[in-house]
Copies of this chain bind each other. A is one copy, B any other.
Amino acid sequence: MTQTVRGTILQTPSPDTFEALPDQIVTIDDEGVIESIVDGVGLATDADTDLGPSLVLLPGLIDTHIHAPQWPQLGSNLDLPLEQWLIDYTFPLESRFEDLEFAVTVWSHMVPSLLREGTTTAVYYGSIHESATTALAEACVRYGQRAFVGRVAMDHPEGTPDWYRDQSATDAVSASQRSIEAIRALPGAGGLVEPIITPRFIPACTDAALGGLGELAEATKTRIQTHCSESDWEHGHVLDRCGRTDAHALDHFGLIADHTVLAHATHLTNDDRSLLARTGAGVAHCPLSNSYFSNAVFSTRSALDAGVRVGLGTDIAGGPEASLLAQCQHAVTSSQMLETGVDATRRTDRGVADSRIDAITAFYLATGGGADLLGINAGLLAPGRVFDAIAVDIGARSRVRRWDGDDWGQTFEKVVRGATASEIRHVWVGGRLVEPTPT
């Protein structure tokens, strides 16, 4: 049975285009796909859901980089550089997900919490544990969140602690294969939740594991995610070990493919960008996390100009904020800071010209850019796309109130910069209204 939703649409069809479509009638088929969008101005049609003037409709948010088992430390433990942070805080926490009951407790809080933040698609790293990872995929199915869920592979005896690693490259690959099969076999997963091959990053994986996972991706036609050139340390580690940049080393192992998701990529070279553009791989840009761990700002503008796909990510919990709209704010401000520089004592040569992006580009990364990176039919409200959407309150009592005289562009900017979970009144995934309560 079809359903109709009526309201004003605000969205970004491209990185530099904003579109306001007042009072539209969206018809959604029983598969959750948009059949048609027609102008409702002057029409008396009763819609199944009429948002009225105090709610606006936007595409759902696509978070392309989340470490699910780091959820309990979100917002804390951010005083160490990456390489120490992993050992002191993060691997100990992730290792606790061997306990399936603990895992289910966390997923039952995290998945609905993220839906309330407007995250209709999530790209998750799990832990090394197959049961906890499958349970995460089950939670996504249960709560109705579109997701890619990856069991983490990490087997390097120097890059990982002996209490949290795959025992061999063979184990890393075979456990990853079993996890793909388990997620694909889940009732209700089809069209909503998919597996993704997830070597943690080169420092945590042996060459044998990396090569084996590349082959597994090819054989099982599964997408890939990993980290790439995140910080001076990580970038330098790969240069030393592999004699080439992270992106090229990953390519050597068969891990750079169409829709491969590379988190951070802060230290890409021009040649790296060409490789990504050519192969259809792209970047999960995590601006807030980068300010803690990356030693530099990812140049969104350079990546887009080179034809690289770019989505946005929270990097929970390296990024201490669950809201992807908050990441839009950080994407804009960090690009401003890249452009103007940070050190007032430097009177010349302070920043990098033409680096700035605005709220339109940032929101595109959070929606259409993420969809393009992943190769999914979401990220824009248009016929043929899934109806993944959020309705945001712009009424008189809202934090993102629309004042008399505001045009739709100003309203859009206010929503992108200011809406929190409280202002997001409805969330749909594939046409299904999800009204999640964290438990």
**Interface contact B109-A401, CB-CB below 8 Å:** yes
Name the residue on B nearest A235 (C-beta): B344
Name the residue on B nearest A117 (C-beta): B399
A168 within 8 A of B: no
- 14 pairs, A vs B, C-beta closer than 8 Å: A73-B410, A75-B417, A76-B406, A76-B413, A76-B414, A291-B333, A296-B343, A296-B344, A320-B413, A322-B418, A334-B342, A341-B342, A396-B439, A397-B438
Given contacts A75-B415, A75-B418, A337-B337, 18 further A-B contacts (CB under 8 A): A77-B410, A109-B396, A113-B399, A267-B344, A292-B336, A295-B341, A295-B344, A296-B342, A296-B343, A296-B344, A296-B350, A297-B337, A321-B418, A330-B333, A338-B342, A343-B351, A397-B438, A399-B421
Contacts of A74 in B (CB 8 A): 414, 418
- Measured between alpha carbons, how far is A329 from B78 in the docked complex, in Å? 12
Tell me whether chain A's interface is mostly helix, strand or loop, or mixed. Answer: loop
Q: A266-B344, A422-B422 are in contact. Are A417 and B336 (CB under 8 A)?
A: no
- Measured between alpha carbons, how far is A416 from B320 in the docked complex, in Å? 11
**Taking the nearest CB of chain B, how far is it from the CB of A56, in angstroms?**
14
Residues 261-301 (chain A) with a chain B CB within 8 angstroms = 266-267, 288, 291-292, 294-297, 299
**Taking the nearest CB of chain B, how far is it from the CB of A272, in angstroms?**
11
Residue of B77, B79, B295, B336 touching A340 (CB-CB under 8 A) = B295
**Interface contact B417-A420, CB-CB below 8 Å:** no
Contacts of A334 in B (CB 8 A): 291, 337, 342
**Interface contact B321-A329, CB-CB below 8 Å:** yes
Contacts of A336 in B (CB 8 A): 291-292
Contacts of A321 in B (CB 8 A): 329, 417-418
- Measured between alpha carbons, how far is A399 from B336 in the docked complex, in Å? 29
Question: What is the total number of copies of this protein in its complex?
Answer: 2
Residues 102-130 (chain A) with a chain B CB within 8 angstroms = 109, 113
A352 within 8 A of B: yes
Q: A75-B417, A399-B113, A418-B75 are in contact. Are A342 and B333 (CB under 8 A)?
A: no
Contacts of A299 in B (CB 8 A): 344
A53 within 8 A of B: no
**Interface contact A333-B72, CB-CB below 8 Å:** no
**Interface contact A344-B400, CB-CB below 8 Å:** no
Q: A296-B344, A343-B352, A344-B297 are in contact. Are A410 and B76 (CB under 8 A)?
A: yes
**Interface contact B76-A358, CB-CB below 8 Å:** no
